[in-house]
Amino acid sequence: MTSHTYDIIDFDPEIFVQQYWQKKPCIIRKLFPNFQDPIDADSLAGLALEEDIDARIVSFADEQWDVHQGPFTADDINENCVGSWTLMVQGVDNYLPQTKALTEKFAFIPHWRFDDLLVTYSVAGGGVGAHYDEYDVFIVQGMGQRRWQVGHKLNSSHEKLYPHAHLQQVKPFQPIIDIVMLPGDVLYIPPFYPHQGKSITECFNYSVGFRAPNQSELLQGLADGILDNDLLTKRFSDPNRVITHKRSAVNGHDIFVLKQLLHQFIDLDETDYLLTEMLSKTYHPIHDEYALESPHSSSEMLRMINAGLTIAPNLGLRPLYPEHQTNEFFVFFINGRRYEADALDRPFFERLLNETKLKVTPSERLQFSSVNIIAELVNEGFYEVLD
């Protein structure tokens, strides 16, 4: 198969999602025309020094792969950036407002599926080798040129290798896509498609990564919510038991009833909320320094709304709500925190949660409880007031 099979010339999100999302890789040339890097190498290295940032250096020197995990000191960076090296910094979307344009391009995929923006800087020859990821990723080419190859979806003929304890690679690797990416080009890779990028020149790449929970993560997340909320106290009971001659056996009926107990829980309306709450917790926490030192009172907020107020989500914010809700409250979650607004103001809150900024005017005729929530959102630093 030749690489042009996978080319997309005009990017249309609808066609992309129908034909490519989770199905096959593709190249989107010049999705970002006249691309300008939102960061330079020194600033990326500066971010890698931050205490709570997830950074890695992967190098290949003297026929040896090496991986170092941050946070780094400036000396670590100097010592470990040897041979063909790559510096990778996760969660950059939470730190740099100028990366917003990159992630916003993919806003046709819901917030809860988005994971983070990984910024990669590599010198010529740099790369992490052929590997696969379990998540979807859009790799945006920044400065420089990089050769990207993508293979057939992982199958039993592939073998996993660990050239370093923290580096998983895969072989054999037969490319079905083999291209040189230029600034502004994008490569979409669905989960389990082996791929590798090798820099031809010094390069920046921006990986807009997604996540998808597995069953174990879902159950773990729900278990946390159940314990926190003291839910699900219904206990197994067996008034119709008959005697057993094999007391070590757990019979099929008992297993059936135990599973029923679990099913009943999964089907509860409250579980929709628990799931949404869990999904709203981000792996890469948003800054807490946005919280206001002198918080606004609700009446102050009302005055600000009366004077005409524009608010916008702060960096990295991913508010979520279950779409199907019929209660007297409209419930939404931010970073695992639950908010309950008067259902009368649901249309307003839906706009607030879905848009990148919102003008709030007295014509909204908001309930005072909603003004209170807006004040809380601003005071907590989840939303900022624009001038």
Which residues sit at the interface with ligand SIN, rule CB under 6 A? Answer: 86, 120, 127-128, 133, 137, 195, 197, 205, 207
Q: 99 or 207, CB closer to ligand SIN?
A: 207
Interatomic CA distance for residues 303 and 305, integer angstroms: 5
Q: Which does 205 bind (CB under 5 to 8 A by kind): Co ion, ligand SIN, none?
A: ligand SIN
Q: Which does 90 bind (CB under 5 to 8 A by kind): ligand SIN, Co ion, none?
A: none
CB of 194 to ligand SIN, least distance (A): 10
Alpha helices in the chain (DSSP H): 13-19, 41-47, 74-80, 100-104, 215-229, 252-267, 269-279, 298-306, 346-354, 368-379
Q: 169 or 314, CB closer to Co ion?
A: 169
Structure tokens at 27: 């190249």
Q: 68 or 195, CB closer to ligand SIN?
A: 195
The residue number whose beta carbon is nearest to Co ion equals: 133
Interatomic CA distance for residues 153 and 192, integer angstroms: 6
Contact 191, 152 (CB under 8 A): no
Interatomic CA distance for residues 55 and 49, integer angstroms: 8
Interatomic CA distance for residues 321 and 50, integer angstroms: 32
CB of 358 to Co ion, least distance (A): 36
Structure tokens at 297: 């009172």
Q: Which does 80 bind (CB under 5 to 8 A by kind): ligand SIN, Co ion, none?
A: none
CB of 234 to ligand SIN, least distance (A): 44
Q: 59 or 207, CB closer to ligand SIN?
A: 207
Interatomic CA distance for residues 114 and 47, integer angstroms: 21
Q: How far is CA 303 from the centre of its chain?
A: 36
CB of 137 to Co ion, least distance (A): 6
Q: Which does 190 bind (CB under 5 to 8 A by kind): ligand SIN, Co ion, none?
A: none
CB of 103 to Co ion, least distance (A): 17
Cα-only R_g, the chain:
25
Q: 127 or 322, CB closer to Co ion?
A: 127
Contact 379, 291 (CB under 8 A): yes
CB of 129 to ligand SIN, least distance (A): 9
CB of 215 to ligand SIN, least distance (A): 24
Q: Which does 181 bind (CB under 5 to 8 A by kind): ligand SIN, Co ion, none?
A: none
Contact 301, 378 (CB under 8 A): yes
The residue number whose beta carbon is nearest to ligand SIN equals: 120
Contacts (CB under 5 A) with Co ion, residues 105-134: 133
Q: 86 or 335, CB closer to ligand SIN?
A: 86
Q: 137 or 274, CB closer to ligand SIN?
A: 137
Residue 140 burial by Cβ neighbours in a 10 Å radius (0-12, 13-18, 19+) = buried
- Residues forming contacts to Co ion in the complex (CB under 5 A) are 133
